[in-house]
Amino acid sequence: MDWRTKLLDPAPRARRDYTSLATPVYRGSTVLFDDQAAVTDDWRQAENGYSYGLYGTPTALELAARLADIEGARETFIVPGGQAAIALIYLSYCPAGSHALVPYSAYGPNKAMAEGLMRGVNVEVEPYDPLIGAGISDLIRDNTTLIWCESPGSVTMEIQDVPAIVQAAHARGVAVALDNTYAAGVMFDAFAHGVDVSMQALTKYVGGHSDLLLGAVSARDDAAYAKLGPIYQQLGLAVSPDDCSLALRGLQTLAVRLDALESATLKVANWLVDHPRVDQVFHPALPSCPGHKIWARDFTGTTSVFSFTFFEDLSADDVIGFVNALKVFKIGMSWGGVNSLAVVYPNLDRPNHDFGGRIVRLNIGLERVEDLVEDLAQAMQF
């Protein structure tokens, strides 16, 4: 062979029997087949063999299989982010002309998709009170195909009675999807509580270091797997093997990070409870959190994100001043990494309550907790 041809020959020269603790980063779009008869375009790669990098390299499928094992799923799909996971579920479960239900405490971009893309394809997505429980029955219509749950809710932290919603939904043949990002897929057992399809933003706790964007969609059973798979294929939700490799590394330290984050977060939340300027603290382990009793019944722990409100004698500008005065806490969205973050929601949209710009969400990181409390105290000298 000419050296120019040798440059392109994919045949391995080095031994391939290298057994490491780390999952290799497999790059690759094209998959080589043994002969023409073996050529397929099958998204069921875990069962039927590799066909194309778009449906997952061994790095992505390793991450998927580990998550499925941890969550007790039939199968997990890895997608480019939490929002892509939400889109995959909507587009798999909501045909044109159907009706879906989403709690008004859902992640903002979920509601934006409901009112944007889904409305555009003639799907009506109706917001509901996250604390509705079994009362969801009254909202189910003949054309309802999907009920979203997110527990706790974004920013306002309502804990939902997922089993009651599942019972009402299944009685009418409606599927239930859960955004299980808060619980990192582990502090709330989605499938033991009857959910059909569970997603999480791996961006948060599994990544754990604010340096990657990935999402996971886990199917309860064959029916959910068969519904999601073709849409996953049609949308072309390919992920980077480098990001999957980082997420696999994140899994190795998930338990110790969650332990440390839980105890530091409880310390900060309890300190806020006693602060004279603080009105309510919305942390699932505290009785002041809406749905706290359901949390105690259904969850095995808490993680690092919660919110609190200031008393009404402070203005929205005072609250913005507080966040700007923080030094250790950084101002930023997203959460689940090693840094503590704070953000004000000046125009939080909730039908039953006007927070008047006095609600702040905190994400607790791995800094020394005494430094975090000191930082909050100095910024609260109004």
Ligand X SMILES: *Cc1c(COP(=O)(O)O)cnc(C)c1O
Binding site for ligand X (CB under 6 A): 81-83, 107, 150, 154, 179, 181, 201, 203-204, 213, 215, 334
**How far from 382 is each of 68, 317, 325, 326, 333, CA to CA, in Å?**
48, 11, 10, 13, 24
Residue 215 or 250: which CB sits closer to ligand X?
A: 215
Write out the DSSP string of 194-205.
T-SEEEEETTTT
Residue 199: CB minimum distance to ligand X, A: 8
Residue 42: CB minimum distance to ligand X, A: 27
Residue 45 or 198: which CB sits closer to ligand X?
A: 198
Q: What CA–CA distance (Å, rounded) separates 226 from 267?
A: 44
**Considering only CA atoms, which of 249, 268, 243 is closest in space to residue 365?**
268
Residue 54: CB minimum distance to ligand X, A: 19
**Considering only CA atoms, which of 191, 21, 211, 178 is closest in space to residue 86?**
178
Contacts of 88 (CB under 8 A, 6+ apart): 77, 79, 199, 217, 228, 231, 232, 235, 237
Residue 160: CB minimum distance to ligand X, A: 13
Residue 204 or 257: which CB sits closer to ligand X?
A: 204
Residue 303: CB minimum distance to ligand X, A: 11
CA angle 157, 160, 166 (to 5 degrees): 155
Residue 60: CB minimum distance to ligand X, A: 15
Residue 93: CB minimum distance to ligand X, A: 17
Strands 75-79 and 215-219, bridge-based pairing: antiparallel
Q: What CA–CA distance (Å, rounded) separates 297 from 137?
A: 22
Residue 98 or 151: which CB sits closer to ligand X?
A: 151
Residue 315 or 334: which CB sits closer to ligand X?
A: 334
Strand partners, 103: 128
Residue 62 or 150: which CB sits closer to ligand X?
A: 150
Sign of CA dihedral 340, 246, 79, 216: negative
Residue 98 or 198: which CB sits closer to ligand X?
A: 198
H or E, element range at 111: helix 108-113
Token look-up 């919305």 returns 282
Residue 82: CB minimum distance to ligand X, A: 2
Residue 98 or 203: which CB sits closer to ligand X?
A: 203
Residue 45 or 83: which CB sits closer to ligand X?
A: 83
* Nearest position to ligand X, beta carbon: 82
How many other CB atoms sit within 10 Å of the CB of residue 228?
23
Residue 10: CB minimum distance to ligand X, A: 34
Residue 144 or 181: which CB sits closer to ligand X?
A: 181
Q: What CA–CA distance (Å, rounded) separates 338 from 332?
A: 13
Report which residue type is found at 34: D
Residue 319: CB minimum distance to ligand X, A: 21
Token look-up 């930023």 returns 332
Helix axes 369-379, 316-325, angle to 10 degrees: 140
200 with 206: CB under 8 angstroms? yes
